[in-house]
Structure 1
Amino acid sequence: MGEEERVATLEQAIEQYKPSPERDFDLLHSDLDIALDLKAQTVLGTAILSLKPYFYPQNTLILDAQDFDVHSVRLLRTDSLELNFRYDSQKLQIYLPQTFTKEDTLRVMIKYTAHPSRNAGNGSAAITDTQGLYFIPSAGDGTEVRQVWTQGETDHNSKWFPTIDAPNERATHALKLRVPDQWTTISNGELVSQTRNADGTRSDYWRMDLPHAPYLVAFAAGDFDRIEDQWEGIPLGYYVEQDYAEGAKKVFGNTPRMLAYFSELLGVKYPWSKYDQVVVRDFVSGAMENTTVSIFMEDLNMTAKEAIDSEFDGIIAHELFHHWFGDYVTTESWSNLPLNEAFANYSEYLWYSFDEGRDAADLHYIGEMESYFYEAEEKQVDLIRFDYEHNEDMFDNHSYAKGGRVLHMLRNYLGDEAFFEGLNFYLTQHALESVEIHDLRLAMEEVSGKDLNWFFDQWFLSSGHPELVVRMDYSEPGNVLVTVSQEQDLESSPLYIIPFELSWYSGGERYSRKFTLDRKVKQFALENKDSVTAVYFDEAKVLLAKKRGSYGQDYYKQQFMESQFGVSRYEALDSLAQYGLSRGIMERSLGDEFWAIRERSLQHFGEAIADAGLEAKVEELAATDPNNGVRATAIDWLVAYGQEDYSSQYMIWVEDSSYYVAGAALEGLLTSSGTGIPKALTAASFEEEGNIRMIVPLADYYTRERVPGKGAWLHEKISETEGQSLYYLIGYYADYFVVMPEEGTMEAVNNLVDLATEATQPYIRLAAFQSLFGFVDEEGVLDKLKKIYGQEADESIKSGEEYFIFPYLDEN
């Protein structure tokens, strides 16, 4: 690199550097009085901010206020002084009448109208919009509003009230909220009072007495039922629409146990006065951890029967854990976002380990690691980074999945006692403060007495991950030699220091030794004494690393048969698939104590299981397995490979309390021939079901058999279905009208166009967009696509080539 190029690179780095927000003023308290104009979808507000210069004397106050009409600004003292200001639609620059010092406290009142929908959009994969406050239309013609809710992360709360919208700010606040009288409101802190107004509205007064970051201010308002719960005198509320009240008791039912577990684990009791959880429509993220009131996407709206198979404990634990890591102790800048999100991600592992056992937690975390590796194919950046373009860029699988895995390695290196004492010290030392990555390192060093610069430098402050090649030499039976080499690109990734474990089994006992790789290539002597034929590198799958080695069928058989770790047996079973499975291995896998291995065997070794004569074992799993997912997969296997007629069992299983089981059995009924009941009659008897696991088998059957007269039913279902269920239904919906155009093709096309252009979730827009390609030969459809997505070449639209689809995704 030449001198000019080097200088240009250094100058660009300086230009791209994102510092922590500078603190000219310290925001102390915000009094917010707002009325929601549901027709205009605006906010009529009065904000009184109490603040003081942070250190240096100040004569100008700059506030974040995005897309407001600012009516007046006044300084409140013994009199009220109107202030001059300049406003550019994003920043409100207020000229103070004199220079104030850090000994002075000011009260500034702003009257305004906020227009949240102006200039919104351009969010991220994690937070898909930047509107800050959302008016959600009712079903039907959509002219009425059924809910209003907020989403302030990262700097979007200044879309509805003026503030210093930075994560290193911290203040108390009060919120007076004017809403229709029949609505329920939920916000931070305590509901102090409710006052009915003469115009049919009601004013609710909420107060938050402990300081927190402005992005965590929130409310939700609408027609919600409240399910009451409590933990150690702390009130808990689960807010859902009335139809889902019974389901919410199950969906959120583990919250008291989570509070108890996390409080004990951290040695810091849940630090807030209450905890509410609200499920809203059309949320722009999975969930958001606003202090004392987490808001969740609509997928958590579940009936009592649907909630039997709820798989949302992970996201519920995630948002709850944020109330320690993110709300109680808050990242000082978005560059340090992993101090919020890595911990919340790791809470999922902690909870699953506590509630379902380590095997389930390990498998969940392997999935998280693979999400990071997938992202790392295109993007490798530091966890703590100061050169991102937009705040939203930080919300990626580095900050979440990689960050959580790094914490898991830190815990494994320090040991549980030091790790959790370190977290206690960190939380206690920095309670109600903002932090950066070095605060975490110093806390862990203070408790453990270990130097951790090397660990934080390579994992938090560098890019990439290790790529390891492991070679085993068994030529000396009593002293296996293990050679490990690092093969990652050292131009972009560090040469890592990697503590790791080697393990082996002898006489039914597990043995292990810990080593440290601190070279590019290093050899380790196991000194195992007893002869062994299989040594396992990182058997428990702790390391965030790509690993390669030369292993054979016998090695994987031994690993599957003897490993104590479910995730290791799971890996071995996958590897054995390339060789073909013996009857003994399949029989063992179908009876494995880890449900995921039983399920995996059924999914991937279907015909081989049949050839091995294990159909009776599969029927047993379908009838009696304690895991509903395994039961459903076993039924799927019987439908696909079963030689016996299971019609009578399907008739019983389709009435099961689990939709997983019932949906699989319905597919069986619509495939088998032994019931004596016409399949069309069977299908019609389930059309009132609203669960996607029952709808999909019906839609698939109607399409496969070209059953006429089902267009109206499908139009109704596509209009009623939301969230992830809608995503799964879209393809089946489109397929029916492709093969049955007389049933209402253009109505289907119009519905898909609406979803492709207006759906909140990008994955739904994509599914609808792709489904439209099935109709391009219909008159007018090509014109609709061109009108919506631009005048691309006809052939590229017809073929759906990636260069046409993906620019659209990038923009949305």
Structure 2
Amino acid sequence: MSAAAWLATAALPVTAAEREHVCRYCSGAEHAPAGAPKERQYAPDRQVDLLHITLDVTPDFQARTVAGTATLRFAPIAKPVKSLRLDGIHLNVREVKGTHAVRDYSVDDQCVTIVFEKEIPAGEEASIDVAYSAEPAQGLFFRTSAMGFPEGDDHCWTQGEPHEARHWFPSFDYPNERASSEIIFHVPREMTVVSNGRLIGEAEEPGGLKAVHWLQEKPHANYLICVVAGRLEKLEDQHGDTPLGFYTQPSKAKYAANAFAETAEIMDFFEKEIGVPFPWEKYDQATCADYHWGGMENTTLTTLTQRTIIADEVENVRSSRSLNAHEMAHQWFGDYVTCKDWSHLWLNEGFATYYALLYEGHKLGRDDLLYGLYLDARDEIFPEHKDHRPIVYREYQQPREQFDYRNYPKGSWVLHMLRSMLGEGLYRQAIRTYLERHALQDVETEDLREVFEETSGRTLDKFFDQWLYHGGVPELKVTSKWLAEERTAHVTIEQTQATSDDVLLFELETKLRFIVDGKPVDEPIKIDGRRHDFYVKLPAEPQIVRFDPDYTVLARVEFDLDDKQLEAQLGNQADVIGRLQACEGLAKRKTAASVKLLRQALNADPFWGVRAAAAAALRRIRTTDAIAALVESTDQPDARVRNRVVEEIGKCYADAAHAKLLEVVKREQNPAIVATALRGLGKYQGQASIAAARAALDDKSFNNDLVAAAFAAIGDLQARSLSDEVMKLIKSRET
């Protein structure tokens, strides 16, 4: 492995409770430049109905090129066609011929334009053969030992979304066009080829090659066409009549079963939850070296980052579950039905994000579902509260601008609110109808609204308007006062967000919950104005007052509680969101009493997420007692909590924290947690930290986690004394 390739691999950290970047989502997705013209984006007109695509091509692993023939069968839709424009970036076209005589063709950097001798009548089928070659800058990627990747792992893979397919074959490259497809890939005989649909066969050819033929019979969007070819090892399983496969490079095969393990169980859950059987004939997954994102939901073939393969020793600090579930959910939401254009991307990504959380709740319990929603709101959505772009948004310049928090976690929250508002039964009925009605078609947001209205009898225009066609989230200030003489709780709720043409005053339905002597009293409420005052008669003063106790509304809520209320809320084992919010409230107190309560939660709360939140709260307090509470609480049975405690210790700066980090590096068996401790040592100058980093350079753990952490620590320490050893290590990894 070359130094550059190895360093790229080693530079990927393992973080506490690492949350995968699925698909193309990144919380730091770029916005259009300030002052950029706001041209609205729409799906292009469909001149023809594309019926079938055949790609008969040969990749050159040394030159990193592809050459062959693309055959497109189509029929003009409404008018005769004299010329046809295909998307194709930097393609070298040698010849174009077809069933209808071709008079001429032209090629530029963006497209291939074909002119026919005569017009092709509307509705008449025709086909063209485009003989071409390409050296793709995007879309088709080669990873070989000559490039510095492990010997024996040579492979190539494709990525279509949003518009990369046009870099390696000519076609109509937009999601509002669907066609069946087939791929005939010519590769060295020792290689494996996996693609969409079913395997038709393999045939040996001269020159040590073989032709591998795959056919996808149901129509799908162009960006979902995929092929992975190379030296691959395979795991197999079955769910009902659906074969399941997992392909990975030999160097990663040892732990591949960890990433594949839950695939059948996830499919079983989705079939029951969605109410529509898995809509394709097989489901494969394939890892790709140096993959850009978490995964890509190509029809019947999900491509994945190699980082989804996790060693046993990491325990549950990292997991493939969420990524696996997210990408499989796309086989229904994104592949079976596909957003018509990128303004409706949430119909793909919001669904996949939410259904991954639903599986989390099914697998681990409802607290894990709610915790996922809580993290999405707190960490991904609320930090963007000044961004007033709506979910359904047409004023983007590039499709990649759409792959952000709005279409992933916020879209997921919209579905959660609908499910909470309508009830699980009606929600499931609507989703099943939506999929069956629009199967193998493109969809818009209004298609979903119409089905929900039809199923529930409710008018949902306002809900969709405020949550999908306008931006922002409600910002609520909640106060509570006990009126002893009236034996009444007085709760005031104010909407404080600035309203404009972009952000509305929200209409919300939820409830207040009062815990009186251990018994809940619920009061349904509706919020549709700037300020509301609610008066609720109670038998006695409540120990706990909760707004939206079932966590059904996405809102930034400011609700200050006193110490007594926070203590009661932290102790309510039936309310995981309340306990998480209590941790946040106690972190602001910075008192000895709050440290005592948080220490107790860190070591005794039944839910791991609350224990992690308590650790973060103690670090925010950062008094001597708070740091001591962290240092004395590393003996956690759940590795996620253990890792989080070490991470928070690493953010403190104290002798006790330094000593604990050194101890963790020496005694901890989980390499992910050791890596977390090593990164924390980077702020502590001195020979002890340098010695720990030096020792980690010799580690041979899977995925180079400790070496990557050592590099980070050495960089922070500016340990020039280790420069020679670092260079020696890099050179030793070259093969």
TM-score between the two structures when normalised by the length of structure 1: 0.77
- Matching of residues 796-811 of structure 1 within 5 Å: none
Task: Say if 1:248 and 1:307, in contact at 8 Å, map to a contact too.
Answer: no
d(CA) in 1 for partners of 2:693, 2:643 = 27
In the TM superposition, residue 487 of structure 1 has moved relative to its aligned partner by 1.2
CA RMSD across the alignment: 3.7
In the TM superposition, residue 599 of structure 1 has moved relative to its aligned partner by 3.3
Residue range with higher mean Cα deviation, 442-451 or 476-485: 476-485
Instruction: Please tell me the residue identity of whatever aligns with 2:437.
Output: Q
Instruction: Please tell me the residue identity of whatever aligns with 1:30.
Output: I
Superposed CA offset, 1:72-128 (max 9, x none): 111126xxx4441122221111112222233200011110012212xxxxxxxxxxx
- Matching of residues 51-66 of structure 1 within 5 Å: 51-66=74-89
Task: Say if 1:227 and 1:245, in contact at 8 Å, map to a contact too.
Answer: no
Task: Say if 1:277 and 1:294, in contact at 8 Å, map to a contact too.
Answer: yes
Instruction: Please tell me the residue identity of whatever aligns with 2:600.
Output: E
Aligned residue among 486, 489, 505 for 2:495 = 486
d(CA) in 1 for partners of 2:229, 2:385 = 42
1:40 aligns with 2:60: no
d(CA) in 2 for partners of 1:402, 1:392 = 17
Q: Report the equivalent of 1:99.
A: 119
d(CA) in 2 for partners of 1:742, 1:385 = 50
Per the alignment, do residues 14 and 139 of structure 1 end up closer, same or farther by CA in structure 2, a change over 3 Å counting?
closer
In the TM superposition, residue 386 of structure 1 has moved relative to its aligned partner by 1.3
d(CA) in 1 for partners of 2:538, 2:44 = 55
d(CA) in 2 for partners of 1:589, 1:744 = 40
Q: Report the equivalent of 2:468.
A: 460
Per the alignment, do residues 206 and 87 of structure 1 end up closer, same or farther by CA in structure 2, a change over 3 Å counting?
same
Task: Say if 1:71 and 1:111, in contact at 8 Å, map to a contact too.
Answer: yes
Q: What percent identity do the matched residue pairs reach?
A: 28
Q: Report the equivalent of 1:520.
A: 530
d(CA) in 1 for partners of 2:518, 2:146 = 62
Task: Say if 1:478 and 1:531, in contact at 8 Å, map to a contact too.
Answer: yes
Per the alignment, do residues 165 and 307 of structure 1 end up closer, same or farther by CA in structure 2, a change over 3 Å counting?
farther
1:132 aligns with 2:115: no
d(CA) in 2 for partners of 1:699, 1:488 = 41
d(CA) in 1 for partners of 2:112, 2:665 = 67
Per the alignment, do residues 347 and 141 of structure 1 end up closer, same or farther by CA in structure 2, a change over 3 Å counting?
closer
Instruction: Please tell me the residue identity of whatever aligns with 1:504.
Output: F
Equivalences, count: 687
In the TM superposition, residue 141 of structure 1 has moved relative to its aligned partner by 4.9
d(CA) in 1 for partners of 2:47, 2:499 = 42
Q: Report the equivalent of 1:74.
A: 97
Superposed CA offset, 1:289-324 (max 9, x none): 001111111211333434664422111111010111
Per the alignment, do residues 650 and 182 of structure 1 end up closer, same or farther by CA in structure 2, a change over 3 Å counting?
same
d(CA) in 2 for partners of 1:633, 1:391 = 35
- Matching of residues 700-739 of structure 1 within 5 Å: 704-705=687-688, 714=697, 728-735=709-716, 738-739=719-720
- Matching of residues 216-615 of structure 1 within 5 Å: 216-306=224-314, 309-373=317-381, 376-377=384-385, 379-475=387-483, 478-491=487-500, 492-562=502-572, 564-579=574-589, 580-582=591-593, 583=596, 586-602=599-615, 604-605=617-618
Instruction: Please tell me the residue identity of whatever aligns with 2:85.
Output: I
Residue range with higher mean Cα deviation, 445-454 or 497-506: 497-506
Per the alignment, do residues 632 and 307 of structure 1 end up closer, same or farther by CA in structure 2, a change over 3 Å counting?
closer
Residue range with higher mean Cα deviation, 574-583 or 397-406: 574-583
Task: Say if 1:86 and 1:92, in contact at 8 Å, map to a contact too.
Answer: yes
In the TM superposition, residue 416 of structure 1 has moved relative to its aligned partner by 1.1
For 1:17, what is the secondary structure of its paired residue?
coil
Residue range with higher mean Cα deviation, 549-558 or 343-352: 549-558
In the TM superposition, residue 16 of structure 1 has moved relative to its aligned partner by 0.9
Task: Say if 1:46 and 1:111, in contact at 8 Å, map to a contact too.
Answer: yes
For 1:740, what is the secondary structure of its paired residue?
helix
For 1:460, what is the secondary structure of its paired residue?
helix
d(CA) in 1 for partners of 2:315, 2:638 = 14
Instruction: Please tell me the residue identity of whatever aligns with 2:283.
Output: Y
Task: Say if 1:702 and 1:736, in contact at 8 Å, map to a contact too.
Answer: yes
Per the alignment, do residues 497 and 68 of structure 1 end up closer, same or farther by CA in structure 2, a change over 3 Å counting?
same
Larger relative CO (CA 8 A, sep 6+): 1 or 2? Answer: 2
Task: Say if 2:385 and 2:472, in contact at 8 Å, map to a contact too.
Answer: no
Per the alignment, do residues 698 and 586 of structure 1 end up closer, same or farther by CA in structure 2, a change over 3 Å counting?
closer
Q: Report the equivalent of 2:639.
A: 628
For 2:298, what is the secondary structure of its paired residue?
coil
d(CA) in 2 for partners of 1:335, 1:493 = 18
In the TM superposition, residue 717 of structure 1 has moved relative to its aligned partner by 7.2
Q: Report the equivalent of 1:111.
A: 131
Per the alignment, do residues 718 and 461 of structure 1 end up closer, same or farther by CA in structure 2, a change over 3 Å counting?
farther
d(CA) in 2 for partners of 1:613, 1:49 = 66
Q: Report the equivalent of 1:803.
A: none
In the TM superposition, residue 713 of structure 1 has moved relative to its aligned partner by 8.1
Task: Say if 1:466 and 1:546, in contact at 8 Å, map to a contact too.
Answer: yes
Instruction: Please tell me the residue identity of whatever aligns with 1:705.
Output: A
d(CA) in 1 for partners of 2:42, 2:622 = 59
Task: Say if 1:375 and 1:397, in contact at 8 Å, map to a contact too.
Answer: no
Task: Say if 1:244 and 1:303, in contact at 8 Å, map to a contact too.
Answer: no
In the TM superposition, residue 373 of structure 1 has moved relative to its aligned partner by 3.4
d(CA) in 2 for partners of 1:693, 1:571 = 26
Task: Say if 1:659 and 1:694, in contact at 8 Å, map to a contact too.
Answer: no
Q: Report the equivalent of 1:28.
A: 51
Superposed CA offset, 1:59-83 (max 9, x none): 2111111110011111126xxx444
User: Structure 2: which 5+ residue stretches go unaligned?
Assistant: 1-34
For 1:163, what is the secondary structure of its paired residue?
coil
User: Structure 1: which 5+ residue stretches go unaligned?
Assistant: 1-11, 118-130, 664-691, 755-812
Per the alignment, do residues 713 and 506 of structure 1 end up closer, same or farther by CA in structure 2, a change over 3 Å counting?
closer
In the TM superposition, residue 385 of structure 1 has moved relative to its aligned partner by 1.1
d(CA) in 1 for partners of 2:592, 2:282 = 54
Per the alignment, do residues 193 and 216 of structure 1 end up closer, same or farther by CA in structure 2, a change over 3 Å counting?
same
For 2:371, what is the secondary structure of its paired residue?
helix
In the TM superposition, residue 597 of structure 1 has moved relative to its aligned partner by 2.2
In the TM superposition, residue 651 of structure 1 has moved relative to its aligned partner by 11
1:149 aligns with 2:154: no
TM-score between the two structures when normalised by the length of structure 2: 0.85
In the TM superposition, residue 614 of structure 1 has moved relative to its aligned partner by 9.9
d(CA) in 2 for partners of 1:340, 1:245 = 31
d(CA) in 2 for partners of 1:282, 1:333 = 28
d(CA) in 1 for partners of 2:693, 2:622 = 38
Task: Say if 1:629 and 1:660, in contact at 8 Å, map to a contact too.
Answer: no
Instruction: Please tell me the residue identity of whatever aligns with 1:134.
Output: F
Per the alignment, do residues 153 and 727 of structure 1 end up closer, same or farther by CA in structure 2, a change over 3 Å counting?
farther
